[in-house]
Structure formats: structure tokens, C-alpha cells
Chain A
Amino acid sequence: MNKEKYVEDLRDIKAIMNKSSRFISLSGLSGIFAGVIALVGLYAAYNVVYQNQDYLAYRKAVITYESLSLLLVIALLTIALAVGFGIYFTTRKAKKEGEVLWDSQSERLVVNLLVPLFTGGVLCLILLLKGFIGLVAPLTLIFYGLALVNASKYTLKEVRSLGILEIILGLLAMQFIGYGLLFWAIGFGGLHIIYGIVMQQKYGS
């Protein structure tokens, strides 16, 4: 009776199940870059929102139609850069590990990520146009978190923890409306950088 063989069998079964159903080439570097880009984008947005105001007086978030379009440009640029770097680093990692980037796993991952993300995005855009600016920051964090939790079934399990943290942060931001940019900085900047560093150390670039 050879127990060793069966221990090894179980390990093989787990490894193959993981490898065949989860996309594991997500690069930690893309998390770090996404975080840094988010912070830069938020700094730019902060300057637009609080422009021409006295530093000493009570400052109010002012959003005019001009600044709104400028903010949307900043937002789109930030997202495009973050996603672009994410794809670049992940492609590089997949190549290094001899994995294919676009297969049924990554497809499932992206679809499951996009459904909640797209829903939240459209919802926030509607709220924004109706003037509920304060709700946008908390809701983007919540929907982003839900998207990550949903997609985590098809990738590294750490993505799930990141998603849950984003949801908690979003709910906190809903309680403290008015600190939206700060919560965004923590959620999209800070958490991404920390997540990226952790992943980098655990799985390499």
C-alpha cells in the first residue's frame, strides 16, 4: 500500500484543476502601476474640482459642465492607462510562463468582471448626469468590489479579498459622503499598490 503515491495524486488533481480553470498569469506589477496611475489621475481631478479656491477658507467641490467634461477625460485616460499597463504586464508574464493569454479562462474572467463593472459604470453615469455627484465615488468602489469578487472564481484567490476590501471601503464612503476623492485614493490607489506588492512577492513578475 503506497500512501505517498496517493498524496501525490491528490496534489496533482488540485494543481490541474486550478491550472485548467483559473487564469493565473495576472501580474502584480499591473496592480502597482494601476494604483500609481489612479493616484496621479485623482490628483489631477482634485485640482479640477477645487480650482480657484482659497486654501484657508472652507472649500467646496465645484463641478461645472466644463470641469465635468475635463473630469471625464481624466477618468477615461486614467482607466485606459491602467488597463493598458495591466494588459502589457500580464501578457509579458503569460509569455514568460508559456501560457496563452486569451483562452476560455481569460474570456470567462473578463466577462464575469465586466458585467457588474459595466452595470455600475452606467448607473454612476446616470447619477452623475442627474446631479448626485456624492454617490458616484462610493458606488464605483462597491461595484468594482463586486466585479472582483465575481471574477475571482476564475483567477487567483487573492482577487476575492481585494474585492471584499473595496466593497467595505465603498460602504464606508457612502456613510462619509464628501470624502469621495480620499476614498478613491485609498481604494483605487492604495489597495492596488499593496495588492500588487503582495502578489509580486508571492508569485513573481
Chain B
Amino acid sequence: MKEILKDLNKAFENKVRLGIMSALMVNEHLNFNRLKELLNVTDGNLASHLKSLEKSGYVAFTKEFLNRKPNTKYHITPSGQQAFKKHIKAIERLLK
């Protein structure tokens, strides 16, 4: 039991962060607005959770210009993928 609990990642306890990671797992990249409408959260809320995932090194972004408007595209990092898979596995073992 202790072993499993250790694999559960604190970073993914929060619903919004869990949602961000889920969406980025199955998409090459998503921009800020798409994430926002997908998770149905406010700008500020999403930004702060994205920032915390960035800090953990799970999510990264690239900035580009689309019709002269800045467009920030977020993607999951390899370590983010690994961490998220580990987290899901831990949940599944827990529920067995």
C-alpha cells in the first residue's frame, strides 16, 4: 500500500492539472484557448496551473504568431508523460 501511495503524484491531485495532463497526453499540442474551453476554467486559474506544471518540468510551451497574434502552444514533456503514466498505473493498482 505504501508503495502505491508513493507513486501517486501530488502534482496531479488537482482536477485542473489532471485535465491539462490528460488532454496533452493525446494531443501533440494544444493552445491556451483550446485548453480553456476544454476544461471550462478561467484564464487565471488555467495559467496558474500551467505554470506549476511547467515548474515541475511536465509541460512546456512554444510561442508563435498566428495572424500577428501571439499563440502559445503547450505540449507534454517526456518526463511529464512518464510521471502521468506512473500516476495512472498507481490509481489503477489502488482500485484493484
Contact = CB atoms under 8 A, between A and B. Distances in A.
Query: Ordered nearest first, which 8 A-B pairs have the shortest CB separation?
Result: A16-B22, A20-B23, A21-B26, A13-B22, A17-B26, A6-B91, A16-B19, A17-B22
Interface residues on chain A, size class: 10 to 19
B95 A21 contact: no
Contacts of B22: 12-13, 16-17, 20
Interface in B41-91: 88, 91
A3 B94 CA distance: 8
A17 B88 CA distance: 13
Interface string A1-30: 001001101101100110111000000000
B30 to A, nearest CB: 7
Given A7-B95, A17-B23, 6 more contacts: A6-B94, A13-B22, A13-B88, A17-B25, A21-B27, A104-B27
24 contacts: A3-B94, A6-B91, A6-B94, A9-B91, A10-B88, A10-B91, A12-B18, A13-B18, A13-B22, A13-B88, A16-B22, A16-B23, A16-B38, A16-B39, A17-B22, A19-B38, A20-B22, A20-B26, A20-B27, A20-B30, A20-B38, A21-B26, A103-B34, A104-B27
Interface string A32-71: 0000000000000000000000000000000000000000
A182 B8 CA distance: 58
Interface string A82-116: 00000000000000000000011000000000000
